[in-house]
Chains A and B, each alone.
Chain A
Amino acid sequence: MPDYYPLSEISDRHIIDSLTADRLSMHLGPFVIGLQARYNQHSIKTHILPHLRRCYKTVNFSTQAGVLTDSQVSLRAPNILRQFIRPQIIPDPGFEFPALPLPLHMAPLALEMGLNLTIALQMFRFLIIHGGVVAGDDGGIIISAESGGGKSSLTAALMQQGYRLLSDEFTIIDPETCELVAYPRPVSLKNESIDAVKSFAGEHTISPVLTNTPKGSIAYRYARPSDIDQHQIRAKPKLIIFPTFKSKALPKAKLVESADAIVRLIPSSTNYQALGEAGYKVMMHLGTHIKAYEITYGSTEASLQLIHDILAGQIE
């Protein structure tokens, strides 16, 4: 087992050196991901390090050579010119992928995208579904929505209610046990949801805002130390939510039939086809054992009330 430490115990200098020497590895949940940065010390210190410090403070990292990783994510310029003149950054997960070059100050977005890419497309030991997961004492809630459907705001709101964050971006399921696997990285908030989450979670829980990104404004709601402490604790799935945020909509919840739930979840999976029979079995388990609801709401309070009512058995 390699030696690893919370990032807060590793010096700036050592992190930067390890990033440039391909020795920094993030040990979180079931994955060890190697991180590399092909920039000079100053650029790393200004643009990459602050994001790591803010979002991954208590996450374990190793810095020695020879640590086996599930995959590597490299942050680099798209070409030599863009390393120096109006520098740009792309995440490189080690396979050919058409990534949009971003200005260097958007390094946090590039890093998060790189990690998302590698989880979505290179991890086959788990069924991966695009969707957030939080868990209470009696099981996990899967929140599956299209981009802009209100998944991240709802995840952040449920965190505020005392739920543990397993993951904002990916529902990660062990096909052998059908358990939800934690991967508590920051919750990615876009545009209006940034202020909404700030208002109930507080300014100090959210990263500085990146404006004018290809996805609009982006900020990250940090995973809490308590979420990260429990990163090895899995949860049994208990509820599936398909949320739709519609401004001024009347709150409404509707039970989704098994088959419909399965048919909605399959296209949200990034590796269902690759898993073959194992993926099919997980989907069948979710569809036949876990209740799924479609909820429509116009405010955070309404969404929380709906989930509360569903869990209390007041909605059929």
Chain B
Amino acid sequence: MNQQYLQMIVGLKPLPSEPAALKSLIEYAKKQHVLGQMAHVWRDKGSGKLEEIFANAIIQTAADHRQMIYERNRVEVALQGSDITPIILKGGAYVNLELRASMGRRVSDLDILVPYNRIKTTAKYLEKAGWETDASVNNNYDKAFYRKWSHELPPMRHKSRGTILDIHHRLESHAAKISLNHEKMMADASMLDGGRSKTFTAIDLFIHSASHAFSDGEFATPARSLIELYYLYQNLNPEQRRALISRAIDVGGLYPVQISLWALARYFGLECLKSDQKVGLLVGFAIRVVVDDSRLKNLGLFMLYVRGHYMRMPLKYLIPHFVRKLFIRQKKPHVLEFLK
């Protein structure tokens, strides 16, 4: 069922003509945060309410993108005068490179990568420009947790714009079982227009996305992750596709790339070498039940969640962390003024 949905969303299959089926496809796309992407594929083909739903989604994601481009500019300006050239990661990179993977994509947080020995300087420059550690993690436990285990600083929030910035110094935690060689990827990164920040090469964007989806991501919105991989793969020319596996081996991302190719072949009918696809029994099972929305979906999500953390942290630290997170709830923000 969801295989069909995924193919409809990216335009490989026509939209269902039966109203109830079309409605459940729209609901699915909304829930998976890919309605904007679907809207970009189908914007001229809809009529009536469908056309209006697509128009609405396109306006919303266009706003996300303006914000993202502006945030990149703000970060560049904040780092002016330093010797730091940040690498823009994930959604921020797709938007700033205007990749197909960005069209209609919802984006909110900007992720940047800077060398480990420049992280303190980066934070200092950004604090001067108005970013501060987000209140939700501004406590001793969380800060220590990030310092010890994480590949990024605790998220920073800009105090007047409210936008979130994640500063990474590597792509996975120190203890992660699969760890991409971010130094090699950084060395090959290319400059964005304006010459003040960089992005990974097209191949490395795919490898990083694969690793994010299948080794440290939580896979809560599988359609979004798979569609992202689909478009990033489409973005590779034949030569780059041939070079993908050897580069994945080179930077230590072979397994997530193999899972990704398996998933792309399974869900989008992508033609690629059988030998390049590989997935473990349990992981394959978990991905299938989650993507297919089967009755075992929650079990699959749980398996991937635990696995994601297990890949990042030794078990004896992981269990106390889970227990703590289970019992400590976050404070909720205030209700907006206009609802009073």
A residues with a Cβ closer than 8 A to B are 1-2, 30, 32, 65-70, 94, 98-100, 113, 116-117, 120, 122-125, 130, 147, 215, 268, 270, 273-276, 278
Q: Contact between B20 and A124 (Cβ–Cβ < 8 Å)?
A: no
Other-chain residue from A67, A117, A125, A273 in contact with B23 (beta carbon distance below 8 A) = A67
| A270 proximity list for chain B (CB < 8 A) | 338
Shortest A216–chain B CB gap in Å is 10
Q: Contact between B63 and A98 (Cβ–Cβ < 8 Å)?
A: no
A-B contact count (CB 8 A): 69
Shortest B162–chain A CB gap in Å is 11
Other-chain residue from A67, A147, A275 in contact with B340 (beta carbon distance below 8 A) = A147
B residues with a Cβ closer than 8 A to A are 18-23, 26, 30, 48-50, 52-53, 55-56, 59-60, 62-63, 66, 332-340
| A116 proximity list for chain B (CB < 8 A) | 338-339
Once the chains are docked, how many angstroms separate the CA of A184 from the CA of B173? 54
Once the chains are docked, how many angstroms separate the CA of A276 from the CA of B66? 9
| B30 proximity list for chain A (CB < 8 A) | 94
Once the chains are docked, how many angstroms separate the CA of A67 from the CA of B19? 7
Shortest A165–chain B CB gap in Å is 19
- A68-B332 contact in complex given A125-B59, A147-B340, C-beta closer than 8 Å: no
Q: Contact between A147 and B53 (Cβ–Cβ < 8 Å)?
A: no
| B338 proximity list for chain A (CB < 8 A) | 116, 120, 130, 147, 268, 270
Q: In the complex, which residue of chain B has the Cβ closest to the Cβ of A1?
A: B48
Once the chains are docked, how many angstroms separate the CA of A112 from the CA of B53? 22
Shortest B160–chain A CB gap in Å is 13
Once the chains are docked, how many angstroms separate the CA of A98 from the CA of B339? 12
Q: Contact between A70 and B63 (Cβ–Cβ < 8 Å)?
A: no
| A130 proximity list for chain B (CB < 8 A) | 338
Other-chain residue from A65, A98, A113, A123 in contact with B20 (beta carbon distance below 8 A) = A65
Q: In the complex, which residue of chain B has the Cβ closest to the Cβ of A175?
A: B59
What are 30 A-B contacts defined by CB distance under 8 Å? Answer: A32-B49, A65-B20, A66-B20, A66-B21, A67-B23, A68-B23, A68-B26, A68-B53, A70-B49, A70-B53, A98-B332, A98-B335, A116-B338, A116-B339, A117-B339, A120-B338, A122-B56, A124-B56, A124-B59, A124-B63, A125-B52, A125-B55, A125-B59, A147-B340, A215-B340, A270-B338, A274-B60, A274-B63, A276-B63, A276-B66
